[in-house]
Chains A and B, each alone.
Chain A
């Protein structure tokens, strides 16, 4: 299964990005890593070019919140991405807030799975379970 991943906005946390790529590869995903400093349009465009089923955006400096507000609107402009599984993870807020507050907010922005300060492997386990259920 193809996954497009990268770090959104003006965020250069490259180590986490590399770890995500390695972990996804180890689980058998075909990974297209756009790296750090990636804009939303590039994520969606990469999903179109690769035919990816999953878009996994990461963010560590909390900047994702600003960018994520645009997700629904931008995605709606693409005619072939209706079935794209949208995942976001990392530290999704500037300052502190609980997952109970953050998760519903990001789901409203258009994400199917939201991992705020969740361990990487736990997050990827959840993703795999989600995909299994979705395909049944």
Chain B
């Protein structure tokens, strides 16, 4: 087996791409007027040509992932379980429909990459009916998968064209079963990549499978202590150009989801510092504590209009504050984390190149004092050299 240092690792993000060799890591802002491969070979051609296709590993979050719509019958089980599996499979865009009120939902006009229908333990029957069929008739989707009660499957399969039926995600104890849906969604992601010209072209430089970046990061977390002094429970924050990802230890939630995974993922799809900058600023302006935070950072709201390194720093600090708010009991989200139990906060991605450790620590202690009224101070770990990503991509054997 080849050593890690013989590999070339490439991560294509929505804003930057990173190229990692044994001796260096380069980060380049993408040129959106160019095809990704052209841009990559223009900026890093020499490095790339020095490696065999077998030794180049690529992951990507640049295509935005699959858009997903989940139709489930309860918030506490079917919708929650399917959402959890989808997030952990690297999917960013998730809309949810509670089946009993399906007639009240407007039908999305955009093409949905995958519809997930879920509900009921295997012995439950007569769950879905006409309202589902007429909703699906109006919906524009590419794939549809059923992961609910076995009893319902034959009837649904007879009515819904091209329905893929997988084992139920809810077992008879109301526990979650992840693997089948997760495998399906990850494979679909691969097909989606292959279908997208920009990413597809990258297969001319690698013979390895291209994986979603968040999937790679999530797989790394059990080994994180081989690289960092991280104390469990911890959260990992990856602030990107389009989305902000949080990976968290399961100990931090009082949830009914019990899986073999130690870590789950949560995505804030409208919090990013480039593509989603406007929505980040909008969210910030609607947070009652943000003006106090700006004063604390010794800037005014005019900073939002600026294009400077200082402005980027403030945006990243705001993003940290806003995601912590969104995960706390101060804002009710899909899940709330026990933030007072966190021992370490790990930051990865571009943020580690922009903010100093003390600038991150400042924001975190501001959040704990202001929102949680606590002097709790988790240690901050910065993944300056993208070790988490390199560890994940080289450990991933698919």
Contacts and interface: CB of A to CB of B under 8 A. Distances in A.
Interface of A: 32, 34, 37, 41-42, 44-46, 48-51, 78-80
Given A42-B76, A48-B73, A32 B174 contact: yes
B119 A49 contact: yes
Contacts of A80: 100
Q: For the complex, would chain B's binding face be called helix, strand, loop or mixed by DSSP majority?
A: loop
A38 to B, nearest CB: 9
Contacts of A41: 75-76
* 6 A-B pairs with least C-beta separation: A45-B74, A45-B76, A51-B124, A79-B100, A42-B76, A49-B77
B165 to A, nearest CB: 18
B74 A34 contact: no
A44 B170 CA distance: 16
A35 to B, nearest CB: 9
Interface residues of B, number: 19
A12 to B, nearest CB: 12
B244 interface: no
B88 interface: no
Nearest to A79: B100
A32 B120 CA distance: 13
Given A32-B174, A78-B100, 7 more contacts: A34-B256, A41-B75, A41-B76, A42-B76, A49-B119, A49-B121, A50-B124
B123 interface: yes
Interface in B376-398: none
Q: Name the residue among A49, A51, A78, A80 with the largest chain B CB count within 10 angstroms.
A: A49
Interface string B123-144: 1110100000000000000000
Nearest to A81: B100
B170 A49 contact: yes
B124 A49 contact: yes
B101 to A, nearest CB: 8
B348 interface: no
Given A51-B120, A51-B125, A46 B76 contact: yes
12 contacts: A32-B174, A34-B256, A37-B254, A45-B74, A45-B76, A46-B76, A46-B174, A49-B74, A51-B120, A51-B125, A78-B100, A80-B100
A49 B120 contact: yes
Interface of B: 73-78, 100, 119-121, 123-125, 127, 170, 173-174, 254, 256
A20 to B, nearest CB: 16
Contacts of A79: 100
Nearest to A47: B74
Contacts of A48: 73-74
Nearest to A41: B76
Contacts of B123: 50-51
A80 B74 CA distance: 12
B333 to A, nearest CB: 16
B125 A49 contact: no
B1 to A, nearest CB: 45
A50 B86 CA distance: 23
A45 B100 contact: no
Contacts of A34: 174, 256
Contacts of B254: 37
B74 A50 contact: no
Contacts of A37: 254
Contacts of B170: 49
B171 to A, nearest CB: 11
B150 to A, nearest CB: 13
B105 to A, nearest CB: 14
A49 B125 CA distance: 10
Contacts of A46: 74, 76-77, 174
Nearest to A2: B123
A45 B174 CA distance: 11
A34 B256 CA distance: 9
A2 to B, nearest CB: 8
Nearest to A78: B100
Contacts of B74: 44-46, 48-49
A73 B119 CA distance: 23
- Most chain A CB inside 10 Å of its own CB: which residue of B76, B120, B124: B76
A76 to B, nearest CB: 12
A55 to B, nearest CB: 14
Nearest to A35: B256
